[in-house]
Structure formats: C-alpha cells, structure tokens
Amino acid sequence: MFKKAAYSSLAIVLILTLLSGCGSSGSGNNGSSKSADPITVKIGLLKNVTHAPAFVAIKKGYLQDRLGANVKIEVQGFNNGSDLSTAMATGQIDIGYVGPSPVINQYVRSKNIKILSGANNGGAVLVVRKGSGVTSVKDLAGKLVAIPTKGSTNEISLRLLLQEQGLKVTTDKSGAQLIAMAPADTLTAMKQGQVDAALLPEPWGTQIANEGIGDIAVEWDQIPPNKGNYPLTIIVSSDDFLKDHRDLAKSVLHANEDAIKFIKDSPDDTYSLVGDELKELTGKGLDAELIKATLSHLSLTTNIDQDALKTMAQVAVDAGYVKGVGADGLDLAGMYDLSLLKETQEGK
C-alpha cells in the first residue's frame, strides 16, 4: 500500500511539473525578444523635420506600443548622418533613421549595417543668397556652395545637379566650390554674405527664404536623382541587432508605418508633435508654419528605390568618398535586408 501511494504521489508531481512547463512555454517566449528579459533599444535619428516619421512614432507612442512594455527606448539625436552611421557601426546605436549616402560609405568600410526600409523621399532644396548673382544652377560656377556635411546625401544631390548643367566641383573659380557647415551656421553665413548658395534639408531653405536672406532656386521636386523622388530618410540597423532581435526590428518598421499613416491622415495634428520632439532634441522649437511647409515638401514612403541609391553611390565613388572599388564596380547587394519590410507591407 505504501509503495502504491508513493508511486501515485510521484506521478502526480510529474504531471504537475509537465503542466507547469507547458504553461510557461505558452506565455509567448518562443525565442521572441518581446517576452525575454527587459532590454534597451537604442534608436538614432537626425534633428531634421525630414525625419518626421521618427518623431511621430516616438511622440504618439507607436514605437513603445510595437516594441512592448519590457523594452526601454533610448533616443539619441545626431547632427549629421556620418556620425550616426559611425555610432551604429561601433555598437552605440541599434537601429535608426538616417540619409543613405553615409550608410553607403559606412557599409563599404565595415559591412555591418543594413538598410531595412524607407521613411521619406525628398525634402531638400537649393537656396541662393540675395545679391549673390545666382539665379540658376549654371550661375554656381565660381561660387561658394554650402552642404551640411561632406559625403552627405545633400552633397550627392548637389553634385548630380551640377552634372546636369555641365559643372564640376572644384577648388578654383572654374566650378562650384563646396563648404561643409551646419544648416544653422549656413543661415548666418548667408546673412553675412559669406556663402552664395546651399543645398539643405528642409525647413532650412524655406526659413532662409522667409527671412528674406535668399530665394529657393531649385524646389524639392526638382532635386536629383528622380526629381525629388529619391530616398532621403531611411531606416537602418546594425547586423548584430538584426541578428539578435529581428522581431524588434520588425516592430520598428510597423511603428514607422503607423507614423506615416498618421501624418498623411492628420497633418494638422502632426505639427505640434514634430515641434515638441525637435525641442527635446535641440532645445529649440520650430514655427508650426515652417513645419507645415516642410511636410508639404516630403514624400513619405516605406519603399526603397535601389536604382536611385546605386546612382548616388556611384557619385560618392567618383567624388572619392568610397574607396577600394574594383573594376566590377560597387556591390551593394549585402547592404539591404528588405525581407522584414515585405512582411510588414503584407500585413504580417
């Protein structure tokens, strides 16, 4: 009798243990980061209105909702894409919004960064200083033209714009001379007559025009490549983050889609969200009318035009920003992982 009771008790314990294990497995772990231990996701972005989908995804809570309650989000703002790309390559940022040209440069150097999705096409303009004698692109020969940073997407667009008119970037008066400076500094330099023109992301061109300092010579929908329909803001991830937290990367893409839909459906409600995030990132607000003007110059999309990026990459090679390219040309196939984008676009 005693042995039978012992065996029965042991059987009950084993059954309860198995049931407990099944219950634990059903809690949603299954290798998903969302149900693992709490983690921190480090998100980078630029302090530009052209990154509006990122701002709205943060302010509306789309990122937090999609990533889950066990994920802590850390947002870091950058002044230029080169710094953000370097930070990602060195593990300081997991995923973020940036322009494509710095990503191409970083990919060629490190091969540890991936383009996942688009966010915005276009949103830069060519603005010329009043009194500079510049009224068209052809007039830029012998003039000093500002771009935000060397090797930036804006510089690549400027070089393409010059090529269309048979002009080159030079260090003498035979062509356009480039100078890299932050957009805020460019505004001041134009006021003081030190810079003749600039190709800048919005709202800087519109702000310069509104203050009577200059005029917009080439609108955003005429900037190459593809007359403004080129990736200006994309979502990229480090290889390590994509490998270890693929589900979280997908959640960021979903949040990006949520934000784009909100901006398109509720533009009037977007201005304050963008302004508030900019104020947190820079310490300064931005007039709602400037934000409105900027948003009207953006083509928000998750799609990635690889042909446009290939064109821009070749300009970067020709300019000397991408080194070590062989006779077969630049191979960018490994720079993309658009499988998650395909899933989100299919509603998965």
pLDDT tens figures, 202-238: 999 999 999 999 999 999 999 999 999 999 999 999 9
Is 115 in the same domain as 141?
A: no
Is 82 in the same domain as 130?
A: no
**Residue 112 near residue 239 (C-beta atoms within 8 A):** yes
**Residue 239 near residue 336 (C-beta atoms within 8 A):** no
Is 138 in the same domain as 75?
A: no
Is 215 in the same domain as 81?
A: no
Q: What is the mean pLDDT of residues 146-166?
A: 96
- Residue 29's pLDDT band, with cuts at 50, 70 and 90, is very low
Task: Note the pLDDT tens digit of each residue in 301-328.
Answer: 999 999 999 999 999 999 999 887 766 7
Q: 281-311 burial by CB neighbour count: b if 16+ within 10 A, else e?
A: beeeebeeebbbbbbebbbbbbebbbebbeb
Is 54 in the same domain as 133?
A: no
Could you give the number of structural domains in the chain?
2
Q: Which residues make Cβ contacts (< 8 Å) with residue 19, sequence separation at least 6?
A: none
Alpha helices per DSSP H over 165-296 = 183-191, 204-210, 239-244, 246-265, 267-282, 288-295
Residue 75 domain flag: yes
Is 110 in the same domain as 72?
A: yes
Residue 31 domain flag: no
Is 242 in the same domain as 341?
A: yes
Residue 73, by phi and psi: left (phi above 0), alpha (psi -120 to 50) or beta? beta
Among 222, 252, 279, which residue terminates a domain?
Answer: 222
Is 233 in the same domain as 341?
A: yes
Is 307 in the same domain as 294?
A: yes
In the block, which residue shows the tokens 């270890």?
244
Is 244 in the same domain as 319?
A: yes
**Residue 204 near residue 186 (C-beta atoms within 8 A):** yes
Residue 264 domain flag: yes
- CATH at residue 115: 3.40.190.10
Is 98 in the same domain as 181?
A: no
Global pTM value? 0.87
Q: Please say if the pLDDT value at position 22 is more than 80.
A: no
Distance CA 328, CA 314 (A): 12
Residue 322 domain flag: yes
Looking at the DSSP assignment, which residues form a beta bridge with residue 98? Answer: 234
Residue 28 domain flag: no
Q: What's the domain range around 136?
A: 125-222
Is 98 in the same domain as 241?
A: yes
Among 172, 203, 222, which residue terminates a domain?
Answer: 222
Residue 178 domain flag: yes
Residue 30 domain flag: no
Residue 85 domain flag: yes
Among 222, 255, 287, which residue terminates a domain?
Answer: 222
Q: Please say if the pLDDT value at position 284 is more than 80.
A: yes
